[in-house]
A and B are shown apart, each in its own frame.
Chain A
Protein backbone atom coordinates (compact mmCIF):
# COMPACT_ATOMS: atom_id res chain seq x y z
CA UNK A 1 0.00 0.00 0.00
CA UNK A 2 1.15 3.52 -0.72
CA UNK A 3 2.72 5.60 2.06
CA UNK A 4 0.37 8.51 1.36
CA UNK A 5 -2.53 6.45 2.71
CA UNK A 6 -3.32 6.72 6.41
CA UNK A 7 -4.96 3.30 6.72
CA UNK A 8 -2.73 0.64 8.28
CA UNK A 9 -2.21 -2.51 6.25
CA UNK A 10 -3.63 -4.59 9.11
CA UNK A 11 -6.81 -2.46 9.05
CA UNK A 12 -7.11 -2.89 5.31
CA UNK A 13 -6.81 -6.66 5.70
CA UNK A 14 -9.44 -6.58 8.47
CA UNK A 15 -11.78 -4.56 6.22
CA UNK A 16 -11.29 -7.11 3.45
CA UNK A 17 -12.27 -9.90 5.86
CA UNK A 18 -15.27 -7.91 7.10
CA UNK A 19 -16.51 -7.35 3.54
CA UNK A 20 -16.09 -11.01 2.72
CA UNK A 21 -17.92 -12.12 5.87
CA UNK A 22 -20.78 -9.65 5.72
CA UNK A 23 -21.32 -9.41 1.98
CA UNK A 24 -19.46 -12.34 0.46
CA UNK A 25 -17.49 -9.94 -1.73
CA UNK A 26 -13.74 -10.12 -2.26
CA UNK A 27 -12.07 -6.71 -2.16
CA UNK A 28 -8.96 -6.72 -4.31
CA UNK A 29 -5.50 -5.87 -3.02
CA UNK A 30 -5.37 -2.79 -5.19
CA UNK A 31 -8.44 -1.06 -3.76
CA UNK A 32 -6.67 0.69 -0.90
CA UNK A 33 -7.05 4.17 -2.38
CA UNK A 34 -10.75 3.62 -3.10
CA UNK A 35 -11.30 2.26 0.39
CA UNK A 36 -9.55 5.25 1.95
CA UNK A 37 -11.52 7.78 -0.13
CA UNK A 38 -14.91 6.20 0.52
CA UNK A 39 -14.38 5.54 4.19
CA UNK A 40 -12.95 8.99 4.86
CA UNK A 41 -16.19 10.48 3.53
CA UNK A 42 -18.20 8.07 5.70
CA UNK A 43 -16.10 8.90 8.77
CA UNK A 44 -16.93 12.60 8.31
CA UNK A 45 -20.65 11.78 7.93
CA UNK A 46 -20.53 9.67 11.07
CA UNK A 47 -18.94 12.53 13.05
CA UNK A 48 -15.45 11.08 13.48
CA UNK A 49 -12.37 13.30 13.44
CA UNK A 50 -10.60 10.94 11.06
CA UNK A 51 -10.77 7.55 9.40
CA UNK A 52 -8.51 5.80 11.91
CA UNK A 53 -10.84 6.79 14.76
CA UNK A 54 -13.81 5.27 12.96
CA UNK A 55 -11.94 2.05 12.17
CA UNK A 56 -10.75 1.81 15.81
CA UNK A 57 -14.36 2.08 16.92
CA UNK A 58 -15.52 -0.39 14.32
CA UNK A 59 -13.14 -3.16 15.34
CA UNK A 60 -12.77 -2.15 18.99
CA UNK A 61 -16.47 -2.02 19.82
CA UNK A 62 -17.85 -4.28 17.08
CA UNK A 63 -20.69 -1.97 16.10
CA UNK A 64 -23.03 -3.83 13.76
CA UNK A 65 -24.70 -0.71 12.37
CA UNK A 66 -21.33 0.87 11.60
CA UNK A 67 -20.06 -2.38 10.08
CA UNK A 68 -22.99 -2.43 7.65
CA UNK A 69 -22.47 1.24 6.79
CA UNK A 70 -18.76 0.60 6.14
CA UNK A 71 -19.39 -2.43 3.95
CA UNK A 72 -22.16 -0.61 2.06
CA UNK A 73 -19.81 2.31 1.36
CA UNK A 74 -17.12 -0.07 0.15
CA UNK A 75 -19.48 -1.87 -2.20
CA UNK A 76 -21.08 1.18 -3.78
CA UNK A 77 -20.82 0.75 -7.53
CA UNK A 78 -20.59 3.30 -10.28
CA UNK A 79 -23.59 2.40 -12.43
CA UNK A 80 -24.90 3.81 -15.68
CA UNK A 81 -28.28 4.03 -17.34
CA UNK A 82 -28.75 1.03 -19.64
CA UNK A 83 -25.66 -0.48 -17.99
CA UNK A 84 -25.93 -3.44 -20.30
CA UNK A 85 -27.83 -2.38 -23.45
CA UNK A 86 -28.20 -5.98 -24.63
CA UNK A 87 -29.86 -6.86 -21.32
CA UNK A 88 -32.37 -4.01 -21.45
CA UNK A 89 -33.11 -4.85 -25.08
CA UNK A 90 -33.71 -8.50 -24.10
CA UNK A 91 -36.04 -7.38 -21.32
CA UNK A 92 -38.01 -5.08 -23.64
CA UNK A 93 -38.17 -7.17 -26.79
CA UNK A 94 -38.20 -10.73 -25.47
CA UNK A 95 -39.22 -11.06 -21.82
CA UNK A 96 -41.99 -8.44 -21.70
CA UNK A 97 -43.69 -9.70 -24.91
CA UNK A 98 -43.45 -13.33 -23.70
CA UNK A 99 -44.92 -12.51 -20.30
CA UNK A 100 -47.63 -10.36 -21.91
CA UNK A 101 -48.53 -13.17 -24.29
CA UNK A 102 -48.81 -15.56 -21.34
CA UNK A 103 -51.14 -13.25 -19.44
CA UNK A 104 -52.23 -9.88 -20.94
CA UNK A 105 -53.99 -8.98 -17.69
CA UNK A 106 -51.00 -9.63 -15.47
CA UNK A 107 -49.44 -7.33 -12.93
CA UNK A 108 -45.79 -8.20 -13.35
CA UNK A 109 -43.22 -7.86 -10.62
CA UNK A 110 -39.58 -7.22 -11.52
CA UNK A 111 -36.67 -7.32 -9.08
CA UNK A 112 -33.46 -5.38 -9.70
CA UNK A 113 -31.04 -6.96 -7.24
CA UNK A 114 -28.03 -4.82 -6.21
CA UNK A 115 -29.56 -1.76 -7.86
CA UNK A 116 -27.01 0.76 -6.47
CA UNK A 117 -28.06 4.32 -7.38
CA UNK A 118 -31.13 3.19 -9.32
CA UNK A 119 -30.20 3.58 -12.96
CA UNK A 120 -31.14 -0.03 -13.78
CA UNK A 121 -34.67 0.06 -12.27
CA UNK A 122 -35.37 3.36 -14.04
CA UNK A 123 -33.95 2.04 -17.34
CA UNK A 124 -36.30 -0.94 -16.96
CA UNK A 125 -39.23 1.36 -16.26
CA UNK A 126 -38.45 3.33 -19.43
CA UNK A 127 -38.38 0.04 -21.38
CA UNK A 128 -41.75 -0.87 -19.82
CA UNK A 129 -43.18 2.51 -20.83
CA UNK A 130 -42.16 1.94 -24.45
CA UNK A 131 -43.64 -1.55 -24.40
CA UNK A 132 -46.92 -0.71 -22.65
CA UNK A 133 -48.23 1.96 -25.05
CA UNK A 134 -51.61 0.40 -25.95
CA UNK A 135 -51.76 -2.36 -23.32
CA UNK A 136 -54.13 -0.90 -20.78
CA UNK A 137 -54.65 -3.87 -18.48
CA UNK A 138 -51.05 -4.97 -18.25
CA UNK A 139 -48.94 -3.38 -15.55
CA UNK A 140 -45.46 -3.75 -14.16
CA UNK A 141 -43.93 -2.85 -10.81
CA UNK A 142 -40.18 -2.76 -10.32
CA UNK A 143 -38.41 -3.18 -7.00
CA UNK A 144 -34.76 -2.19 -6.58
CA UNK A 145 -32.90 -3.55 -3.58
CA UNK A 146 -29.43 -2.97 -2.20
CA UNK A 147 -27.55 -2.36 1.03
CA UNK A 148 -28.51 0.87 2.82
CA UNK A 149 -26.20 3.52 1.36
CA UNK A 150 -26.14 7.09 0.04
CA UNK A 151 -26.44 5.52 -3.44
CA UNK A 152 -29.75 3.89 -2.52
CA UNK A 153 -31.01 7.18 -1.06
CA UNK A 154 -30.15 8.86 -4.36
CA UNK A 155 -32.00 6.10 -6.19
CA UNK A 156 -35.14 6.85 -4.19
CA UNK A 157 -34.81 10.53 -5.08
CA UNK A 158 -34.46 9.75 -8.81
CA UNK A 159 -32.25 12.76 -9.37
CA UNK A 160 -29.08 12.57 -11.47
CA UNK A 161 -26.31 14.94 -12.54
CA UNK A 162 -25.84 15.96 -16.14
CA UNK A 163 -22.80 13.65 -16.27
CA UNK A 164 -24.85 10.67 -15.06
CA UNK A 165 -27.73 11.13 -17.48
CA UNK A 166 -25.30 11.30 -20.38
CA UNK A 167 -23.79 7.91 -19.64
CA UNK A 168 -25.99 5.32 -21.31
CA UNK A 169 -29.18 7.32 -21.75
CA UNK A 170 -30.11 8.31 -25.33
CA UNK A 171 -30.99 12.00 -25.62
CA UNK A 172 -34.54 11.24 -26.78
CA UNK A 173 -35.13 9.21 -23.61
CA UNK A 174 -33.68 12.01 -21.50
CA UNK A 175 -36.05 14.67 -22.79
CA UNK A 176 -39.02 12.29 -22.82
CA UNK A 177 -38.64 10.72 -19.38
CA UNK A 178 -36.81 13.34 -17.28
CA UNK A 179 -37.46 16.88 -16.11
CA UNK A 180 -34.75 19.41 -15.47
CA UNK A 181 -34.19 20.24 -11.82
CA UNK A 182 -31.69 23.11 -11.85
CA UNK A 183 -28.40 21.64 -13.01
CA UNK A 184 -29.69 18.09 -12.47
CA UNK A 185 -32.34 15.90 -14.06
CA UNK A 186 -35.14 14.12 -12.23
CA UNK A 187 -37.11 11.07 -13.37
CA UNK A 188 -40.68 11.93 -14.39
CA UNK A 189 -43.49 10.57 -12.17
CA UNK A 190 -44.78 8.44 -15.07
CA UNK A 191 -41.53 6.45 -14.80
CA UNK A 192 -40.84 6.63 -11.07
CA UNK A 193 -44.35 5.62 -10.01
CA UNK A 194 -43.79 1.99 -10.99
CA UNK A 195 -40.39 1.85 -9.25
CA UNK A 196 -39.74 1.42 -5.53
CA UNK A 197 -36.61 0.75 -3.51
CA UNK A 198 -35.88 -1.22 -0.37
CA UNK A 199 -32.85 -1.59 1.83
CA UNK A 200 -31.82 -5.21 1.77
CA UNK A 201 -28.83 -7.25 2.88
CA UNK A 202 -27.95 -9.06 -0.33
CA UNK A 203 -26.85 -12.25 1.42
CA UNK A 204 -29.98 -12.60 3.54
CA UNK A 205 -33.00 -14.68 2.58
CA UNK A 206 -35.19 -12.81 0.11
CA UNK A 207 -38.44 -14.59 1.02
CA UNK A 208 -39.93 -11.39 2.45
CA UNK A 209 -39.61 -9.65 -0.91
CA UNK A 210 -42.25 -11.92 -2.47
CA UNK A 211 -42.19 -13.62 -5.87
CA UNK A 212 -41.14 -12.02 -9.15
CA UNK A 213 -41.73 -12.58 -12.85
CA UNK A 214 -38.27 -11.27 -13.72
CA UNK A 215 -35.22 -11.08 -11.47
CA UNK A 216 -32.14 -9.23 -12.67
CA UNK A 217 -28.75 -9.55 -11.03
CA UNK A 218 -26.19 -8.25 -13.43
CA UNK A 219 -22.47 -7.60 -13.54
CA UNK A 220 -21.82 -8.30 -9.88
CA UNK A 221 -21.25 -12.04 -9.74
CA UNK A 222 -17.53 -11.81 -10.36
CA UNK A 223 -16.95 -9.92 -7.11
CA UNK A 224 -18.51 -12.62 -4.93
CA UNK A 225 -16.68 -15.45 -3.26
CA UNK A 226 -17.76 -18.88 -4.53
CA UNK A 227 -19.93 -19.78 -1.50
CA UNK A 228 -21.58 -16.34 -1.53
CA UNK A 229 -22.21 -16.63 -5.28
CA UNK A 230 -23.98 -19.95 -4.84
CA UNK A 231 -25.98 -18.61 -1.90
CA UNK A 232 -27.14 -15.51 -3.82
CA UNK A 233 -28.07 -17.49 -6.93
CA UNK A 234 -30.04 -20.04 -4.88
CA UNK A 235 -31.85 -17.23 -3.08
CA UNK A 236 -32.70 -15.48 -6.31
CA UNK A 237 -33.83 -18.70 -7.98
CA UNK A 238 -36.26 -19.19 -5.09
CA UNK A 239 -38.04 -15.85 -5.66
CA UNK A 240 -38.58 -16.33 -9.42
CA UNK A 241 -42.18 -17.33 -10.19
CA UNK A 242 -42.77 -20.43 -12.29
CA UNK A 243 -42.31 -19.51 -15.98
CA UNK A 244 -40.51 -16.38 -14.81
CA UNK A 245 -36.98 -15.31 -15.75
CA UNK A 246 -33.65 -14.93 -13.99
CA UNK A 247 -31.26 -12.68 -15.83
CA UNK A 248 -27.54 -12.08 -15.40
CA UNK A 249 -25.15 -9.71 -17.21
CA UNK A 250 -24.51 -10.38 -20.91
CA UNK A 251 -20.86 -11.11 -20.24
CA UNK A 252 -21.43 -13.26 -17.18
CA UNK A 253 -20.94 -16.98 -17.22
CA UNK A 254 -23.48 -18.79 -15.09
CA UNK A 255 -21.64 -20.54 -12.32
CA UNK A 256 -24.04 -23.44 -11.98
CA UNK A 257 -27.06 -25.03 -13.55
CA UNK A 258 -30.32 -25.50 -11.72
CA UNK A 259 -32.70 -28.33 -12.57
CA UNK A 260 -35.68 -25.96 -12.33
CA UNK A 261 -34.41 -23.58 -15.04
CA UNK A 262 -33.65 -23.76 -18.75
CA UNK A 263 -31.37 -21.38 -20.61
CA UNK A 264 -33.40 -19.27 -23.05
CA UNK A 265 -32.28 -20.05 -26.65
CA UNK A 266 -29.66 -17.58 -27.92
CA UNK A 267 -29.61 -15.78 -24.55
CA UNK A 268 -27.07 -17.64 -22.46
CA UNK A 269 -27.43 -15.20 -19.58
CA UNK A 270 -31.23 -15.61 -19.27
CA UNK A 271 -32.83 -18.56 -17.46
CA UNK A 272 -36.51 -19.47 -17.56
CA UNK A 273 -38.06 -21.30 -14.63
CA UNK A 274 -40.11 -24.40 -15.37
CA UNK A 275 -43.90 -24.30 -15.07
CA UNK A 276 -43.75 -26.79 -12.24
CA UNK A 277 -41.20 -27.53 -9.59
CA UNK A 278 -39.07 -30.52 -10.43
CA UNK A 279 -38.24 -32.30 -7.24
CA UNK A 280 -35.23 -34.53 -7.65
CA UNK A 281 -36.04 -38.20 -6.92
CA UNK A 282 -35.15 -39.26 -3.39
CA UNK A 283 -32.04 -41.32 -3.10
CA UNK A 284 -32.82 -45.03 -2.93
CA UNK A 285 -32.02 -46.36 0.50
CA UNK A 286 -29.93 -49.47 0.20
CA UNK A 287 -30.56 -52.39 2.58
CA UNK A 288 -28.14 -52.25 5.41
CA UNK A 289 -25.90 -55.28 5.24
CA UNK A 290 -23.25 -55.76 7.86
CA UNK A 291 -19.96 -54.55 6.44
CA UNK A 292 -17.79 -57.40 5.42
CA UNK A 293 -14.45 -57.55 7.00
CA UNK A 294 -11.65 -56.80 4.67
CA UNK A 295 -9.39 -59.75 4.22
CA UNK A 296 -5.95 -59.07 2.90
CA UNK A 297 -5.60 -60.44 -0.60
CA UNK A 298 -9.36 -60.39 -1.25
CA UNK A 299 -10.45 -58.77 -4.52
CA UNK A 300 -13.28 -56.14 -4.49
CA UNK A 301 -15.54 -58.68 -6.28
CA UNK A 302 -14.93 -61.24 -3.63
CA UNK A 303 -15.77 -58.73 -0.88
CA UNK A 304 -19.10 -57.72 -2.51
Chain B
Protein backbone atom coordinates (compact mmCIF):
# COMPACT_ATOMS: atom_id res chain seq x y z
CA UNK B 1 0.00 0.00 0.00
CA UNK B 2 1.22 3.48 -0.82
CA UNK B 3 1.50 6.14 1.87
CA UNK B 4 -0.19 9.50 1.56
CA UNK B 5 0.58 12.40 3.89
CA UNK B 6 -2.44 14.70 4.35
CA UNK B 7 -1.37 18.21 5.36
CA UNK B 8 -4.21 20.48 6.47
CA UNK B 9 -4.90 22.53 9.58
CA UNK B 10 -8.56 21.44 9.50
CA UNK B 11 -9.14 18.22 11.39
CA UNK B 12 -12.39 17.73 9.46
CA UNK B 13 -10.64 17.90 6.08
CA UNK B 14 -7.92 15.50 7.27
CA UNK B 15 -10.60 13.07 8.41
CA UNK B 16 -12.65 13.30 5.17
CA UNK B 17 -9.57 13.00 2.96
CA UNK B 18 -8.30 10.10 5.08
CA UNK B 19 -11.58 8.23 4.64
CA UNK B 20 -11.56 8.70 0.85
CA UNK B 21 -7.90 7.71 0.60
CA UNK B 22 -8.45 4.59 2.65
CA UNK B 23 -11.24 3.60 0.20
CA UNK B 24 -8.67 4.07 -2.57
CA UNK B 25 -6.32 1.72 -0.65
CA UNK B 26 -3.82 4.29 0.60
CA UNK B 27 -2.30 4.44 4.08
CA UNK B 28 -2.55 7.95 5.46
CA UNK B 29 -0.50 10.04 7.86
CA UNK B 30 -1.49 13.52 8.94
CA UNK B 31 0.20 16.85 9.61
CA UNK B 32 -1.36 20.15 10.72
CA UNK B 33 1.00 22.47 8.86
CA UNK B 34 3.93 22.61 6.47
CA UNK B 35 6.58 22.57 9.20
CA UNK B 36 5.18 19.42 10.79
CA UNK B 37 4.83 17.82 7.34
CA UNK B 38 8.43 18.63 6.45
CA UNK B 39 9.77 16.99 9.57
CA UNK B 40 7.62 13.89 8.92
CA UNK B 41 8.98 13.73 5.36
CA UNK B 42 12.55 13.87 6.68
CA UNK B 43 11.81 10.81 8.80
CA UNK B 44 9.74 8.90 6.24
CA UNK B 45 9.25 10.17 2.70
CA UNK B 46 5.65 9.46 1.63
CA UNK B 47 4.59 8.37 -1.87
CA UNK B 48 1.95 11.08 -2.11
CA UNK B 49 1.32 14.40 -0.38
CA UNK B 50 -2.08 16.10 -0.30
CA UNK B 51 -1.45 19.62 0.93
CA UNK B 52 -3.57 22.68 1.73
CA UNK B 53 -2.33 26.16 0.82
CA UNK B 54 -3.28 28.37 3.77
CA UNK B 55 -2.03 27.02 7.09
CA UNK B 56 -0.43 28.55 10.19
CA UNK B 57 3.31 28.16 10.93
CA UNK B 58 4.25 27.14 7.36
CA UNK B 59 1.93 27.43 4.34
CA UNK B 60 1.60 24.80 1.63
CA UNK B 61 3.55 26.67 -1.03
CA UNK B 62 6.58 27.16 1.24
CA UNK B 63 6.36 23.51 2.27
CA UNK B 64 6.32 22.20 -1.33
CA UNK B 65 9.31 24.37 -2.31
CA UNK B 66 11.23 23.12 0.74
CA UNK B 67 10.18 19.50 0.16
CA UNK B 68 11.48 19.54 -3.41
CA UNK B 69 14.91 20.64 -2.08
CA UNK B 70 15.12 17.72 0.36
CA UNK B 71 17.12 14.60 -0.52
CA UNK B 72 14.61 12.32 -2.21
CA UNK B 73 12.16 15.22 -2.14
CA UNK B 74 11.35 14.83 -5.84
CA UNK B 75 9.90 11.39 -5.17
CA UNK B 76 6.43 12.14 -3.77
CA UNK B 77 3.56 13.04 -6.06
CA UNK B 78 2.28 16.33 -4.63
CA UNK B 79 -1.32 17.45 -4.99
CA UNK B 80 -2.50 20.77 -3.63
CA UNK B 81 -5.96 20.59 -2.08
CA UNK B 82 -7.11 24.11 -1.39
CA UNK B 83 -9.89 26.67 -1.65
CA UNK B 84 -7.59 28.90 -3.74
CA UNK B 85 -8.99 28.97 -7.32
CA UNK B 86 -7.08 31.85 -8.80
CA UNK B 87 -5.26 30.87 -11.99
CA UNK B 88 -2.13 32.74 -10.86
CA UNK B 89 -2.08 30.79 -7.59
CA UNK B 90 -2.55 27.50 -9.46
CA UNK B 91 0.36 28.37 -11.75
CA UNK B 92 2.49 29.24 -8.69
CA UNK B 93 1.71 25.85 -7.13
CA UNK B 94 2.74 24.01 -10.31
CA UNK B 95 5.87 26.15 -10.60
CA UNK B 96 6.79 25.25 -7.00
CA UNK B 97 6.67 21.55 -7.86
CA UNK B 98 3.06 20.41 -7.42
CA UNK B 99 1.92 17.68 -9.81
CA UNK B 100 -1.82 18.26 -9.58
CA UNK B 101 -4.25 20.63 -7.96
CA UNK B 102 -7.62 20.01 -6.31
CA UNK B 103 -9.99 22.88 -5.63
CA UNK B 104 -12.15 22.60 -2.49
CA UNK B 105 -14.85 21.54 -1.99
CA UNK B 106 -13.97 18.12 -3.33
CA UNK B 107 -15.58 14.69 -3.35
CA UNK B 108 -14.31 11.15 -3.74
CA UNK B 109 -14.78 11.25 -7.55
CA UNK B 110 -12.50 14.26 -7.83
CA UNK B 111 -9.81 12.72 -5.61
CA UNK B 112 -9.97 9.47 -7.62
CA UNK B 113 -9.83 11.36 -10.92
CA UNK B 114 -6.84 13.46 -9.84
CA UNK B 115 -5.04 10.41 -8.49
CA UNK B 116 -5.60 8.72 -11.86
CA UNK B 117 -4.17 11.70 -13.71
CA UNK B 118 -1.15 11.67 -11.41
CA UNK B 119 -0.62 7.99 -12.28
CA UNK B 120 -1.46 6.80 -8.76
CA UNK B 121 -4.50 4.79 -9.80
CA UNK B 122 -5.24 2.76 -12.88
CA UNK B 123 -7.52 4.58 -15.35
Residues in A lying within 8 Å of B, measured CB to CB: 80, 85-86, 162-163, 166-168, 170-172, 174-175, 180
- With a cutoff of 8 Å between Cβ atoms, the chain A residues found around residue B109 in the complex are 167
- Are A180 and B85 touching (Cβ within 8 A)? yes
- Are A86 and B110 touching (Cβ within 8 A)? no
Chain B's closest residue to A78 (CB) is: B109
Q: How far is the CA of A162 from the CA of B110 in the complex (A)?
A: 10
- With a cutoff of 8 Å between Cβ atoms, the chain A residues found around residue B114 in the complex are 166
Residues in B lying within 8 Å of A, measured CB to CB: 85, 87, 90-91, 94, 100-103, 106-107, 109-110, 113-114, 116-117, 123
Q: How far is the CA of A254 from the CA of B29 in the complex (A)?
A: 45
**With contacts A171-B94, A180-B85 known, what are 20 further pairs, Cβ within 8 A?**
A80-B113, A85-B116, A85-B123, A86-B123, A162-B103, A166-B102, A166-B103, A166-B113, A166-B114, A167-B109, A167-B113, A168-B113, A168-B117, A170-B117, A171-B90, A171-B100, A172-B94, A174-B90, A175-B91, A180-B87
Q: A163 with B100: in contact, given A171-B94, A172-B94 (CB under 8 Å)?
A: no
- Are A175 and B103 touching (Cβ within 8 A)? no
How far does the Cβ of A36 sit from chain B's closest Cβ, in whole Å?
23
- With a cutoff of 8 Å between Cβ atoms, the chain B residues found around residue A180 in the complex are 85, 87
- With a cutoff of 8 Å between Cβ atoms, the chain B residues found around residue A80 in the complex are 113
- Are A163 and B107 touching (Cβ within 8 A)? yes
Chain A's closest residue to B113 (CB) is: A167
How far does the Cβ of B52 sit from chain A's closest Cβ, in whole Å?
16
Q: How far is the CA of A222 from the CA of B91 in the complex (A)?
A: 41
- Are A166 and B106 touching (Cβ within 8 A)? yes
B90's contact among A85, A86, A163, A175, by CB below 8 Å, is which?
A: A175
- With a cutoff of 8 Å between Cβ atoms, the chain B residues found around residue A166 in the complex are 102-103, 106, 110, 113-114
Chain A's closest residue to B118 (CB) is: A170
Interface centre among A80, A162, A166, A167 (most CB of B within 10 A): A166
How far does the Cβ of A180 sit from chain B's closest Cβ, in whole Å?
7
Q: How far is the CA of A86 from the CA of B100 in the complex (A)?
A: 20
How far does the Cβ of A159 sit from chain B's closest Cβ, in whole Å?
15
30 interchain pairs, CB-CB under 8 A:
A80-B113, A85-B116, A85-B123, A86-B123, A162-B85, A162-B103, A163-B107, A163-B110, A166-B102, A166-B103, A166-B106, A166-B113, A166-B114, A167-B109, A167-B110, A167-B113, A168-B113, A168-B117, A170-B100, A170-B117, A171-B90, A171-B100, A171-B101, A172-B94, A174-B90, A175-B87, A175-B90, A175-B91, A180-B85, A180-B87
Name the 5 nearest CB pairs between A and B, nearest first: A171-B101, A166-B110, A167-B113, A85-B123, A170-B117
- With a cutoff of 8 Å between Cβ atoms, the chain A residues found around residue B102 in the complex are 166
- With a cutoff of 8 Å between Cβ atoms, the chain B residues found around residue A175 in the complex are 87, 90-91
